[in-house]
Structure 1
Amino acid sequence: MTKRPIRIGVQLQPQHADYKSIRATAAAAEEAGVDIVFNWDHFYPLYGDPDGMHFECWTMLGAWAESTSRVEIGALVTCNSYRNPELLADMARTVDHISDGRLILGIGSGWFEKDYNEYGYEFGTAGGRLNDLAEALPRIESRLGKLNPAPTRKIPVLIGGGGEKKTLRLVAKHADIWHGFGDAETIERKVGILKQHCADVGRDPAEIEISCGVGGSPSPSAPPAELGPKLLAHGVTLFTVGIGGPNYDLGVLREWIDWRDAQNS
Structure 2
Amino acid sequence: MRLDTPVRLGIQVQPQHAEYSAIRDTVLRLEELGVDIAFNWDHFFPLTGDPEGLHFEAWTMLGAWAEQTERIEFGTLVNCNSYRGADLQADMARTLDHISAKGSGTGRFIFGTGAGWFERDYDEYGYPFGTPGSRLRDLADALPRIRARWAALNPAPTRDIPIMIGGKGEQKTLRIVAEHADIWHSFVAPGDLAHKLDVIARWGDEVGRDVSDLVVSNELTRGTPDLEHADALYDAGVRLFTLGISGPDYDLDAVRGYLAWRDAKNG
Q: TM-score surpassing 0.5?
A: yes
Q: 2:193 aligns with which of 187, 204, 210?
A: 187
- Distance across 2 between alignment mates of 1:16 and 1:186: 34
Q: 202, 205, 209: which is aligned to 1:203?
A: 209
Quote the sequence identity (%).
Answer: 57
Corresponding residue to 2:149 among 143, 156, 159: 143
TM-score, normalised with respect to structure 1: 0.95
Residue 156 of structure 1: how far off its partner (Å): 0.3
For 1:174-253, list aligned pairs within 5 A: 174-216=180-222, 224=226, 226-253=228-255
Give the equivalent residue in structure 2 for 1:46.
Answer: 47
Return the letter of the residue paired with 1:72. Answer: E
What is the SS of the residue equivalent to 1:173?
helix
- How much has 1:203 moved relative to structure 2? 2.2
Alpha-carbon contact 1:180-1:187 (below 8 Å) kept: no
Hey, what's the Cα distance between the residues in 1 that align with 2:136 and 2:3?
33
Answer whether contact 2:225 2:258 (CA < 8 A) is retained: no
* 1:145 counterpart SS class: helix
Residue correspondence of structure 1 range 4-19 to structure 2 within 5 A: 4-19=5-20
SS of equivalent to 1:107: strand
- Matched residue SS, 1:243: strand
**Separation in 2 of the partners of 1:185 and 1:66?**
40
Alignment coverage as a number of residue pairs: 261
Once superposed, which parts of structure 1, at least 4 consecutive aligned residues long, lie more than 3 Å away? 222-225
Give the corresponding residue for 1:260.
Answer: 262
SS in 2 for 1:226: helix
Alignment of 1:26-105 (within 5 A): 26-100=27-101, 101-105=107-111
Q: Output the aligned Cα RMSD.
A: 1.4
SS in 2 for 1:207: coil
Higher relative contact order (CA 8 A, sep 6+): 2
Structure 2, gaps ≥5 residues long = 102-106
Structure 1 gaps, min length 5:
none
Cα distance change, pair 260–86 in 1 and its aligned pair in 2 (3 A): same
- Provide, for residues 36-63 of structure 1, a one-character-per-residue CA deviation record: whole Å limited to 9, x for no partner: 0000000000011111110000000000
Is the aligned partner of 1:119 residue 2:121? Answer: no
